[in-house]
């Protein structure tokens, strides 16, 4: 087998990432050696591979669904927004500069098509099948000329296309029909059919519409996936109000101790790697919420200032909203505060930034004895160490170089009283370290909270990926899906007018 498939969507957040992961896990369980691929990802939620390449976290999650190590070829182009109109361009795992949206779509993107096709060819030469994920909608006609992630990659590599639609939003039939009808004839020839996502109710009531859609487009529906809570793991650019659902769907176990722990995460601008707190949300008795007002910190047992692509901007935002003063009061009262990456940097004494914000010298919150200087070279590395008597793993993604001048060591950073700071993303996924940290937080907060002794974040993630595979296995026409991956789009698919505008 040397197959491939592009999972496109009628809209952003239609379910492309989870459907791709589900297909990958289903194939692995059939004994297929499979890899994920996304030519171009726009996300602040990224991951560092073992060899120091930065890719989207969604592709890292999909690689886990495939039970393989993630590589830069799985996401050759990553765009990390730094504002409304510009992004950092990460090519094959390394940053190559900042670019405006107009500059990128005005020519640079088109020139990257060869690079992404080479990465796809590398994967297809190594694996039995490659399941590709599109971005947004393939019918974004204003961007089709420079497209390298939807029909551009499908046509360049001859991939069949499966279009996913979120029926929970409504209008899925119009979205399916309109998506095909706005594509050029050569692109339409690769669109094999549809997959309905997030359906609630009796499927028999939907079937007449699916039959009519087939009659209108000549394309079949490959499955109807039922609505399931909590399947959106490692989101690219969304933010769940409740993170517990992103970890597992099963009923949450009651607290082991007498109390719960309340964790407030400051929803700073350009927040990156907010999945760092997923492991906390997985713990029975830990309640995680995102906040943007100082009064919301009052009853929190732990406040987390997360990573951000705009450290100075986040610092200004905290001050404008009164959150900076509230955090400083907490630290003075020895109430727990944790800063991660950009959040760690702004807890320090001062920041010298001529790279990210170009603001020069900026005073930090002064809660940790740390001085930060932004370097043009980006630190991308896997980290292994020990803290609180437990082994820890994580990864670093930052331009800021921290000089620690005091305090007690904590991972790569430091702590003063009950204020901790580190650049390490993902450290809370280390079960023993997470439990030890929560015990310290509970003691400082005066809570009779006890971490569950057997919570394994890795096992919960595997359980989640298996549920995605189950969705495909039980609710998609897997025989037809197999033929599509192995043999490509059916021949003779009809053209649906009007097609793409000239």
**3-class SS of residue 464:** helix
Q: Model confidence over 483-493: pLDDT tens digits? A: 999 999 999 99
Mean pLDDT, residues 170-187? 97
The residue annotated as part of the active site, out of 398, 423, 425, 475, is: 425
* Confidence at residue 250, expressed as pLDDT on a 0 to 100 scale: 41
- Band (pLDDT 50/70/90 cuts) for residue 101 is low
* Confidence at residue 233, expressed as pLDDT on a 0 to 100 scale: 65
Beta bridge partners of 385: 392
Give yes or no for a contact between 43 and 80, defined as CB atoms under 8 angstroms apart: yes
Name the pairing type of β-strands 77-81 and 86-91: antiparallel
Mean pLDDT, residues 344-356? 94
The residue annotated as part of the active site, out of 24, 66, 341, 414, is: 341
d(CA 85, CA 96): 17
* Confidence at residue 107, expressed as pLDDT on a 0 to 100 scale: 60
Name the residue with higher pLDDT: 357 or 375: 375
- Band (pLDDT 50/70/90 cuts) for residue 86 is confident
Give yes or no for a contact between 349 and 361, defined as CB atoms under 8 angstroms apart: no
244 CA to centre of own chain: 15
Mean pLDDT, residues 178-196? 98
Provide the token pair at 394: 């994580």
With b for 16 or more beta-carbon neighbours within 10 A and e for fewer, the 358-378 pattern comes to ebeebebbebbebbbebeeeb
Residues 6+ apart with CB under 8 A from 184: 144, 151, 499, 500
Q: Three-state secondary structure along 270-301?
A: CEECHHHHHHHHCCCCEEEEEECCHHHHCCCC
**pLDDT reading at 244 higher than 70:** no
d(CA 34, CA 464): 18
- Band (pLDDT 50/70/90 cuts) for residue 106 is low
Q: Model confidence over 123-160: pLDDT tens digits? A: 999 999 999 999 999 999 998 988 999 999 999 999 99
- Band (pLDDT 50/70/90 cuts) for residue 251 is very low
73 has catalytic annotation: no
* Confidence at residue 103, expressed as pLDDT on a 0 to 100 scale: 64
Q: Model confidence over 370-388: pLDDT tens digits? A: 999 999 999 999 999 999 9
Of 80-94, 213-227, 367-381, which gets the smallest average pLDDT? 80-94
**pLDDT reading at 349 higher than 80:** yes
* Confidence at residue 21, expressed as pLDDT on a 0 to 100 scale: 96
pTM for the structure as a whole:
0.92
* Confidence at residue 105, expressed as pLDDT on a 0 to 100 scale: 61
24 has catalytic annotation: no
d(CA 161, CA 163): 6
* Confidence at residue 1, expressed as pLDDT on a 0 to 100 scale: 72
Q: Model confidence over 1-30: pLDDT tens digits? A: 789 999 999 998 899 999 999 999 999 999
**pLDDT reading at 477 higher than 60:** yes
**3-class SS of residue 492:** coil
- Band (pLDDT 50/70/90 cuts) for residue 85 is confident
* Confidence at residue 241, expressed as pLDDT on a 0 to 100 scale: 36
Mean pLDDT, residues 349-363? 92
**pLDDT reading at 397 higher than 90:** yes
Rounded percentage of the chain residues whose pLDDT exceeds 70:
93
* Confidence at residue 446, expressed as pLDDT on a 0 to 100 scale: 93
Q: What is the mean pLDDT of the chain?
A: 92
In order, the DSSP letters of 365-408 are --SSSEEEEEEEEEEEEEEEEEETTEEEEEEEEEEEEEEE-SSE
């Amino acid at each position: 087998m040397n197959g491939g498939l592009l999972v496109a969507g009628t809209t952003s957040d239609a379910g492309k990432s989870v459907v791709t992961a589900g297909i990958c896990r289903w194939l692995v369980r059939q004994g297929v050696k499979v890899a994920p691929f996304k030519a171009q990802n726009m996300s602040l939620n990224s991951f560092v591979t073992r060899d120091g390449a930065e890719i989207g976290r969604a592709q890292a999650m999909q690689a886990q669904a495939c039970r393989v190590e993630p590589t830069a070829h799985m996401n050759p182009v990553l765009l990390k927004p730094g504002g409304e109109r510009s992004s950092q361009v990460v090519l094959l795992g390394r940053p190559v500069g900042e670019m405006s949206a107009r500059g990128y779509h005005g020519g640079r993107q088109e020139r990257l098509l060869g690079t992404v096709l080479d990465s796809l060819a590398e994967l297809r030469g190594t694996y039995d099948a490659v399941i590709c994920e599109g971005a947004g909608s393939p019918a974004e006609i204003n961007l089709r000329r420079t497209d390298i992630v939807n029909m551009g990659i499908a046509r360049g590599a001859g991939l069949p296309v499966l279009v996913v639609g979120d029926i929970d939003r409504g209008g899925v039939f119009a979205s399916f029909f309109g998506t095909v009808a706005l594509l050029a004839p050569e692109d339409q020839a690769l669109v094999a059919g549809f997959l309905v996502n997030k359906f609630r109710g009796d499927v028999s009531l939907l079937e007449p519409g699916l039959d009519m859609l087939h009659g209108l487009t000549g394309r079949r529906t490959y499955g109807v996936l039922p609505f399931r809570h909590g399947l959106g793991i490692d989101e690219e650019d969304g933010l769940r109000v409740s993170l517990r659902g992103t970890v597992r769907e099963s009923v949450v176990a009651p607290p082991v101790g007498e109390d719960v722990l309340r964790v407030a995460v400051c929803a700073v601008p350009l927040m990156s790697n907010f999945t760092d707190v997923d492991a906390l949300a997985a713990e029975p008795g830990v309640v995680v919420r995102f906040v943007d007002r100082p009064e919301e910190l009052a009853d929190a047992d732990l406040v987390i200032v997360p990573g951000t692509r705009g450290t100075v901007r986040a610092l200004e935002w905290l001050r404008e909203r009164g959150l900076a003063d509230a955090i400083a009061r907490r630290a003075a009262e020895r109430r727990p505060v944790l800063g991660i990456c950009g959040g760690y940097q702004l807890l320090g004494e001062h920041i010298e930034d001529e790279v990210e914000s170009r603001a020069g010298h900026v005073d930090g919150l002064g809660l940790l004895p740390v001085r930060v200087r932004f370097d043009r070279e980006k630190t991308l590395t896997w980290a292994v160490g020990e803290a609180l008597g437990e082994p820890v793993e994580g990864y670093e993604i930052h331009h800021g170089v921290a000089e620690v001048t005091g305090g007690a060591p904590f991972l790569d950073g430091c702590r003063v009283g009950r204020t901790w700071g580190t650049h390490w993303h993902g450290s809370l996924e280390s079960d023993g370290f997470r439990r030890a940290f929560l015990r310290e937080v509970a003691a400082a907060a005066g809570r009779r909270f006890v971490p569950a002794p057997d919570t394994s974040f890795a096992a919960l993630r595997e359980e989640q990926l298996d549920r995605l595979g189950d969705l495909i296995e039980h609710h998609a026409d897997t025989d037809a899906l197999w033929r599509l991956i192995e043999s490509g789009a059916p021949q003779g698919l009809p053209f649906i007018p009007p097609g793409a505008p000239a």
